[in-house]
Structure 1
Amino acid sequence: MSLLGTSLPGFPDAAPLAGLAGGVLIGLAAAVMLLGAGRIAGVSGIAARAFGISASSLPRAAAWAFVIGLPLGALIVMNLSGAATPDFAGPVPLVIAGLIVGIGTRLGSGCTSGHGVCGMSRLSQRSLVATATFMATGFATVAAMNLLGIEVLS
């Protein structure tokens, strides 16, 4: 087992070192985006800029590079690390899910990455409330599923 694949007792699928490495890279990317481009690295805002839905100082080419780099970077890491290929529901459910998430990010003035990473680090009140709401909703969902006898983790 690789160093980044080390798991936790009782959680055989956990990879805390890989999560730590990913978190450091996300934080570094957010810092580089803020210091280098002068803007928050919220994925929904950058995607909206790439698709021409919103205007910002970020050039559309840079927005497209960021949006394309997200899955491309994940694919490169997956191939280099020998990680298992994820199972997908198919392109139609993914597009529908993406549209629903996109609507939610517009309604919530940002996505979980924008609020949780960038907004929390700036102590944004809106992001503090949004992140607390995300977390509380997740906890409540898991609790409800456990009460109903639905297995959350397989």
Structure 2
Amino acid sequence: MTIDWLNFTPWSALGGGALIGLAAALFVVLNGRIAGISGLLGAVVEGGEGRGEKALFLLGLLLAPLLWGLFAALPPIEFHGGWLSLGLAGLLVGVGTRYGAGCTSGHGVCGISRLSPRSLAATLAFMAAGFATVFVLRHLLGG
């Protein structure tokens, strides 16, 4: 494996991670709720308690790249699969978040920071599944 040193951006990645952590921490401190995106989206769609503030949080996630684009160039969006694979991937992620009682943000960011054993197990499971998927698609199937 080689690193593309010209496009290596550790400071912006560190800053982005810190902002995600800050947003998750503020959400739990100010609202007493976990900032898991699938849970927030489910509450907005199903009309749960605190629907407005959850919708604003999600809106902020959508508007942040547009705001960033006012100050710096956004990286190009590249997707090398077809619409079928994109739809299948979205469906599998949606089903997985329902069965796993949360998504990567809920378990991986918020759950592990609270030392939740369930979140640790879930994060290990979805990371292992991701590693296995990449290995099969790239190395066994040659995709």
Is the shorter-chain TM-score for this pair beyond 0.5, marking a shared fold? yes
Which structure dedicates a bigger proportion of its chain to helix? 2
1:15 to 9, 22, 27: 9
Q: 1:3 — aligned with what?
A: none
Matches within 5 A, 1:66-145: 66-87=57-78, 98-145=90-137
AA in 2 matched with 1:60: R
1:91 to 1:29, Cα distance in 2 relative to 1, 3 A: farther
Q: Is the CA contact 1:42–1:111 (under 8 Å) kept in the aligned structure 2?
A: yes
Moved more, 73-82 or 102-111: 73-82
C-alpha RMSD of the superposition: 2.8
Task: Give the TM-score taking structure 2 as reference length.
Answer: 0.81
Structure 2 unaligned spans of 5+: none
Structure 1 unaligned spans of 5+: 1-8
Task: Give the TM-score taking structure 1 as reference length.
Answer: 0.76
1:51 to 45, 49, 52: 45
1:148 to 1:95, Cα distance in 2 relative to 1, 3 A: closer
- Figure out how many residues of one structure are paired with residues of the other and give that number: 140
Q: Give the distance between the partners of 2:55 and 2:137, measured in 1 at CA.
A: 38
Matched, 1:64 2:62: no
Q: Is the CA contact 1:78–1:84 (under 8 Å) kept in the aligned structure 2?
A: no
Q: Give the distance between the partners of 1:149 and 1:90, measured in 2 at CA.
A: 16
- Aligned residues with identical type, % of pairs: 46
1:128 to 1:144, Cα distance in 2 relative to 1, 3 A: same
Higher relative contact order (CA 8 A, sep 6+): 2
